[in-house]
Amino acid sequence: MKKIFLYCLNKGWIISTIIFALAVYFNEDWLWLLFCLFLLLTSIFKYRTKKKKRYLIPAFTVIFICILTVWNILYPSKDDFTNRKNIQRITGVNIPKFKVINSRLVHEQLFDTEYEFLTKIEFESLPDNIFFNKLDAMPSWHKKGDVYSYSYGIDDKYFCLKITKGSKIAEITDGKF
């Protein structure tokens, strides 16, 4: 067991690459932390085995990657739900052209992966009745009064688009729980 552990530390770049690929693919915070921890352990191992010249570049790389990982966990980047093509792909409806008026983080806590963004968009032109008739015909869109909403969730992420009939302003709520 000790030989396997020492071999893994000695060939740390291979295992680090595998953990990095898994972290990128699954986008899980614990994989990113495991990646940083393993890089740190391999760097310490290299330093302790008297290969100090080889230690400098990996040490700075490890520090940089650890800072980026912690930054990514504490301040998550939002998915691009303000992109018209992404919204059209998710909702299945041709959304009129719009511009983002306001986007703000409404919920986030330190050391918590939950967050929520509220984005207000303004359509270039008022959506017409044909657009709302299409929404009425689609079972995935819900209507309450003059407000049409579409909700979408996958894994631990969610997206909600609310469009009010007769208004150029719409709301996008998205986040992670």
47-76 per-residue burial string, b: 16 or more CB within 10 A, e: under 16: eeeeeeeebeebbeebeebbeebeeeeeeb
- Residue 114, classed as helix, strand or coil, is coil
| Two structure tokens written together for 89 | 């792909």
- What is the chain's mean pLDDT, rounded? 79
pTM (predicted TM-score): 0.56
Question: What gap in Å lies between CA 134 and CA 35, rounded to an integer?
Answer: 47
Instruction: Give the pLDDT confidence score for residue 15 in this predicted structure.
Output: 77
The per-residue pLDDT for range 83-123, each reduced to its tens digit, is 788 888 888 889 899 998 988 888 766 666 778 888 999 99
